Amino acid sequence: MVVTVVESNTADHPFVAALAGDGLESAVVRVGAKGYLKEWRSLRRLMRQVQPDIVHTHGYRSDVIGGLAAASVRIPRVTTVHGFTGGGAKNRANEWLQIRSYYAFGAIVAVSQSIVQRLRNAGVPDSLIRTIPNAIDPRITGAPRDATRARIGALADEFVIGWVGRMSSEKGLDVLIEALPNIRQPFKCIFIGDGPDRSQLSWRITRLGLDSSVRWTGVVPDAASLFSAFDVFVLSSRTEGIPIVLLEAMRANVPIVATRVGGVPEMLDQTEALLVPSEQPAALAKAIESVREDAPSAARRAQAARARLERDFAVEPWVRRYQAVYRSVLPDAGAGAK
């Protein structure tokens, strides 16, 4: 069962709709932004009803509140740590509390070695830490290039730059925007996603006189299906774990320009993508132009990245590794065969 915690005034959440579309058993817990006690009570009540063998949490609020709810009914806990965003004092305090909660979990899954090191530095025992990179099914294919370019309104001669993510500081869309004046026209930037920085980023595009070169799509549930329209996919993040969006670009055979942060260098090397330092718009623009000017080399890197995906980030071994983690935290080995 997948439990989704949403704001009390949320109507149709796309994630909940996707679960229903996939035929997965799910439940929705509706609470206010600061309804921590209500959330804990609701999750504890649900766990008592369902009686799961394991509770698997993701993210600091889920780790702390969902973890405490599971502890109150004595259910083994596993979490996956996808990354740490840092930022302001409040967020850093939340992450500190999140890491403190890990001592009572049965297993802590880190998606990259950089996260493993962060956990070790914070004092999390090695005996709790497992390393399982994210994975994706390489057999899923997107729509044909002509169809996706028509869908996003890109002309045949436009160089299309794709960016997908949450529009917040850690994802670095502002860095890509600062790079755009150094990229020759014509080009079309497709920004897929939404977030708290959207209005500020849009204002910056207007100030740069680039409105005609940018399309804001908002949240697109099947964003991965649009990747074939891109001539280059850009990941401009300040921090990352093993980003699913980068795996989606690898699967789509799209040339990649990415910042060398977090787990990204564990996923790709310079034979598979162009990696640049974070916070450097000029370097980002130069790498994007390199993809444009040397398409054959970019295509070879994309093919190598696709091969890396099939070798290192396929779903089947990922599932087996998670099954082993689950079995390791169950009260006895026999229960793992259920």
Give the Cα separation of 65 and 69 in Å (integer). 6
CATH class of domain segment(s) 34-135+315-337:
alpha beta
User: For residue 77, what are the contacts with CB-CB under 8 A and spacing of at least 6?
Assistant: 54, 55, 56, 57, 67, 70, 71, 104, 105, 106, 329
For 213-251, how does the pLDDT look when each residue is reduced to its tens digit (9 = 90+)?
999 999 988 899 999 999 999 999 999 989 999 999 999
**In terms of DSSP bridges, do strands 129-131 and 107-110 run parallel, antiparallel, or are they unpaired?**
parallel
Report which DSSP code applies to 158.
P
Write the DSSP assignment of 56-97 as a string of letters: EEESHHIIIIIHHHHHHTT--EEEEE------SHHHHHHHHH
Dihedral class, residue 195 (left if φ above 0, else alpha if ψ from -120 to 50, else beta): left
Provide the greatest CA pair distance for the chain.
Answer: 64
User: Which residues of the chain are in CATH 3.40.50.2000 domains?
Assistant: 34-135+315-337, 145-309
- Which ranges constitute the DSSP H helices of the chain? 14-21, 36-50, 60-61, 67-72, 89-101, 113-121, 145-152, 173-179, 198-207, 244-251, 264-267, 281-293, 295-312, 315-329
Q: What is the pLDDT of residue 238?
A: 94
Residue 69 has pLDDT above 70, yes or no: yes
* Mean pLDDT for the chain overall: 92
Q: What is the pLDDT of residue 269?
A: 96
Query: What's the token pair of residue 98?
Result: 């999140």
Q: What is the pLDDT of residue 7?
A: 85
Give the Cα separation of 256 and 7 in Å (integer). 35
Q: What is the pLDDT of residue 33?
A: 78
Q: Does domain 145-309 have CATH number 2.60.40.1180?
A: no
pLDDT band, residue 182 (cuts 50/70/90):
very high
Give the Cα separation of 10 and 108 in Å (integer). 31
Contact 54, 330 (CB under 8 A): yes
